[in-house]
Amino acid sequence: MDLLSPIKDHHRERQLFIARVALLSAGSLLLLAIVIVRLVQLQVLDYEDFAAQSQGNRVRIEPVPPIRGLIFDRNGRVLAENLPAYQLEMIPEQIDDIDDTLHRLAALGLLDALDIPRLTQLAEAGPRFKPVTLNLQLSDEEIANFAIQRPRFPGVDFQPRLVRHYPHGEAVAHAVGYVGAVSSRDLERLEPSRYTGTAQTGKTGVELTVESTLHGFPGYRHVVTNALGRTVLAEASESGDALPADATPAPGNNVILSLDLDLQLLATELMRDRRGSAVAIDPWSGDVLALVSAPSFDPNLFAVGMSGAEFAELQNDPDQPLFNRATRGTYPPGSTIKPMLALAALETGATNLTRKTMCRGYFRLPNTTHRYRDWKPEGHGEVVLHDAIEQSCDVYFYEISTAIGIDRMHDYLEMFGLGRTSGLDIGGESSGLVPSRDWKRRAFRNHADQRWFQGETVIASIGQGYMLATPLQLASAAATLATRGVRHRPRLITATEDVVTGERARDPGEPPATVDIDNDYYWSSILDAMRAVMHGPRGTARAAGSGASYRMAGKSGTAQVFSLAQEEEYDEDEIAERLRDHALFIAFAPFERPSIAVAVIVENGSSGSRTAAPIARAILDQYLGFSKYARK
Amino acid sequence: MRVSSTGKFVAQRPAPLNQFTRLVRSLNIDTPLLIGLLLILGVGLVVLYSAVGENLRLWLNQLVRLCVALFVMLFFTQLSPDFLRRWTPWGYILGCTLLVLVLVVGEVSQGARRWLDFGIRFQPSEIMKLAVPMMAAWYLHERPVPPTLRHVMTLLVLIILPTILIARQPDLGTALLIAASGFIVIILAGLPLRLLLMLLVLAAPGALLLWHFMQDYQKQRVLTLLNPEADPLGAGYNIIQSKIAIGSGGLFGKGWTNGSQAQLEFLPERDTDFIFAVMGEELGLLGVLTLIGLYIFVIGRGLYIAIQAHDTYSRLLAGSISLTFFVYVFVNTAMVTGLVPVVGIPLPLVSFGGTSMVTLMAGFGILMAINSHRKLLPH
């Protein structure tokens, strides 16, 4: 403090303080007096009224959860429904020996003995009149079994409720998703007043994405309770007729998906016992016709509720059944990108349709010794672009790769939707990766690693190296080839349907930009080469294309899981199953008027044309109505 | 020791101290205040046992927290006000830093970002409940009172900064309490009444600002107060049920653990914010008036200690702690009886939960410290 500031007058300060304390005390007492007057008003003057209301408070307001909307495929077949189920409950206050009751129920197989400590704790923690759920879903047999034993279990009973059921369980699990018990984390996101009384909420897939559409709005009803707070029937009480009006819940809207259930079931069957994914898209609308990730899991386990051990088993399965490979799995696209690169090369002038290359089975950059090998050790001989696609000649693409350059490769592949999320409406996608100089600068911290090498451009031209794509992206790219550059955002959700009015709503959304290649001759030539892959005399997938009563276009791909040393030979038999190459295939059909595009990836399937192509063919057959599996 | 009218020290010669009294003295405890607090805590435990549905585990939980709070009080009782004053600015700066940290990296729980986790989880806003009035008292300690307009403006900034930080978490209840504790210091310091009026006029745009900061659920609460029946299942439910609980208690109540509203779970949040309604239902008007009486006694004792304090800092701080405690009592009881909107402020020393109790008891520890470390200054 400096000397100029006024000297404190302690006496005056204290007097002032006392005056202020007096003032605030008076104010406080006045406020308390208001509270006390209010208390007197409530507890003395209006006592009779409130006492009556408290008596009448045998009437309890109970939320009534809405019925969740159904999910259908494009042909109106049910993918997710609500089924009545019975759960076993006990009311602690009506049971003398809870421990004994639980053990006897466990002996009958009606509950898991391991659950007893948890249930005992639940029974002790909550109010004694509040039911404790012992078993979420009783089978018919269990219901019958319990019905006979019922007199031995006072205070235990079964109660009906609706559970979500997925009739085609595993087949649609990754697309439709599943519901599970509302967790405290869900409640941070959901509106609590809409979820009073709701036990389950969407956790993944469509169930999560359109949760607010599917859920509906709860209503409430007035229920009469007895002196112990248990609900009794409204008719049974004399005040029953005086109950205020209830509010009925507004059911959730139905959701119609683009999936074709038959196609989805077939694709699931074809991918059985494999790891991988198959995605089919209608190229002219972006409708996802099939979205399979294998192996899959039974979503009903989540809807009914499973034990911790069961969940741990799913989570720790090395085949990762919970992982959605179709949208999140990223794989080197391998030779499947060749048609797109060929278009880029034509458009940029890096090659033309008549340029010839002599393929001797390997390629060397000028002034270097490293050999980039073709998949065919003896080479393809003299090839033009058409042959290079038909036979999947790597050397041709190695040669033109440096002329296109990595940055232009990146730009064109991105136009086909690689390297960025496709915008599928259920979200949760990986963006994959299409490298570029710019990307490498950003991705690496070490200056030496930031440089782009020509050799990296070379291997990028056959979809190896840094490049990664999801099955969904490849299917979308195949669809873009089919439409000659017109793109549509892939979508699973085509419409929502108001359950009450039957009104349908669609949201077509903004289509993405068209691929910037205008020369129709280029498109025709490259697509023709893709047709030759299936039907040409030397097409890599001619075996898969044979005997078809329609024409199709395709491209195989084989992606290395690990790299071979320079002189090593790839020997399938000696390589552990999980180190084998991934098999990829993209296709669309019919060639003249494409109505379906597919991408198939079989992890460690060794060869795209031998493993993945027949699967793609079967999917095309089914959709176009030529299937030996076709539904009668 | 006492000071005689001549300003000389005179030794007190009372009856020989028994051992208990000696212990209490050596711990700097103020006996009347302690008795008042223990009575409130005792009544609280009785009511709480009923409010948690006779759940012994939860009740013992609260008992443990209560013991912790008492120890915290004893700890603060040992600190001299001079020591507190010297450290006040640092405490304030630390508190504000932690509040900023909460907004950046805090843990989200039930839609609000209030917690920090450094091994132990805590709410920095609790520190500010004490740091803000301490800071205001510290600022005025060496400046002339009544404060000038310039000083008042500085003080307002010091108070409003943490208030806004806490309101953004969002935790409107605590923000209001902290703002109140600071304003009380300014008023006690002798803020000229015309300035007070001016501030009240300025409060109108402040209220608009507050409305802007409110979350939808908080706006809903205000609207619900005006017409609780509009949303009987949602926001209005609490107030309707709480009024029924209190009203149906009558003069003598329905008897301990016999409140149908509370025990049948018609009354929401019966063990926390709405515990006053449980008491009203089960112990009646006489019960709640007894509790209010105990509150008045504790607040009165606190204000007495404030008046007896010998320096500006102690005086303002003691006054603010006591009157902020009153704000707690008033807001909670007025909210439960439907006089003011539902803001999340618990009934002090009675509601279930340990965080706010520890802070409150720390405040009472400071009150006792101020009482026993009185500086011997001539009048």
pLDDT in tens, chain B (379 residues): 444 455 455 555 556 667 878 887 788 889 999 999 999 999 999 999 998 888 888 899 999 999 999 999 999 999 999 999 999 999 999 999 999 988 888 777 666 677 777 766 778 888 999 999 999 999 999 888 788 888 988 999 999 999 999 988 878 788 889 999 999 999 999 888 888 888 778 777 777 777 777 777 777 766 766 666 666 656 577 888 889 899 999 999 888 888 877 776 678 788 888 999 999 999 999 999 999 999 999 999 999 999 999 889 999 999 999 999 999 999 999 999 988 877 778 999 999 887 889 999 999 999 999 998 875 544 4
- What's the CA gap between A102 and A106, in Å, rounded? 6
A623: left (phi over 0), alpha (psi -120 to 50) or beta: alpha
Structure tokens at B299: 């607040």
Q: What are the two backbone dihedrals, phi and then psi, of residue A69, each rounded to the nearest 5 degrees? A: -60, 155
* Rounded (10°) angle between helices A520-535 and A471-482: 120
Whole-angstrom Cα Rg for chain B: 22
* Coarse DSSP helix, strand, coil percentages of chain A, rounded to the nearest 5 percent: 40, 20, 40
Chain B residues touching A195 at Cβ < 8 A: none
From the list A51, A220, A225, the residue facing B233 with the nearest CB is A220
For tokens 């949208």, what's the residue?
A327
Please give the angle made by the CA atoms of A77, A83 and A88, to the nearest 5 degrees.
160
Choose among B111, B264, B266: nearest Cβ to A188: B111
- Residue A266: the pLDDT is 92
- The pLDDT value given to residue B288: 95
d(CA A474, CA A469): 7
Cβ neighbours for A527, distance < 8 A, ≥ 6 positions apart? A339, A481, A484, A553, A591
The full DSSP string for A172-209 is HHHHH--EEEPPHHHHHHS-GGGSTT--EEE-SHHHHH
pLDDT at residue B199, rounded to an integer = 76
Cα three-residue angle A240-A241-A245, rounded to 5 degrees:
95
The conformation of residue A469, written as its DSSP 8-state character, comes to: B
Which tokens go with A493? 């959700």
Q: pLDDT above 90 covers what percent of chain A?
A: 30
Is a pLDDT exceeding 90 seen at residue A79? yes
pLDDT band at A237 (very low <50, low <70, confident <90, very high): very low
DSSP string, A299-335: THHHHH---HHHHHHHHH-TT-TTS-HHHH--B--GG
A232 vs A227: which has the higher pLDDT: A232
Does B244 contact chain A (CB < 8 Å)?
yes
- Residue A442 pLDDT > 50: yes
pLDDT, position B378: 43
Q: Report whether pLDDT(A598) > 90.
A: yes
Cα A330 to Cα A206, A276, A418, A609, distances in angstroms: 21, 11, 11, 20
A84: left (phi over 0), alpha (psi -120 to 50) or beta: beta
Each residue of A135-155: pLDDT tens digit?
777 888 888 888 888 888 888
Q: What is the mean pLDDT of residues A34-44?
A: 94
CB contact under 8 A, A24 and B145: no
Is the per-residue pLDDT at A273 higher than 90?
no
A335 is catalytic: yes
d(CA B246, CA B373): 43
Residue A194 pLDDT more than 70?
Answer: yes
To which H or E segment does residue B133 belong?
helix B124-141
- Average pLDDT along chain A: 84
pLDDT of amino acid B375 = 55
Q: Report the C-alpha gap between A575 and A566 in whole angstroms.
A: 17
Of the residues A293, A335, A436, A476, which is catalytic? A335
Cβ–Cβ below 8 Å for B247 and A11: no
CB contact under 8 A, A39 and B237: no
Q: Do A17 and B303 touch (CB under 8 A)?
A: no
pLDDT at B183: 92
Name the pTM for this structure: 0.60
Max mean pLDDT range (A21-35, A305-319, A447-461, B201-215): A21-35
Q: pLDDT band at A258, cuts 50/70/90?
A: very high
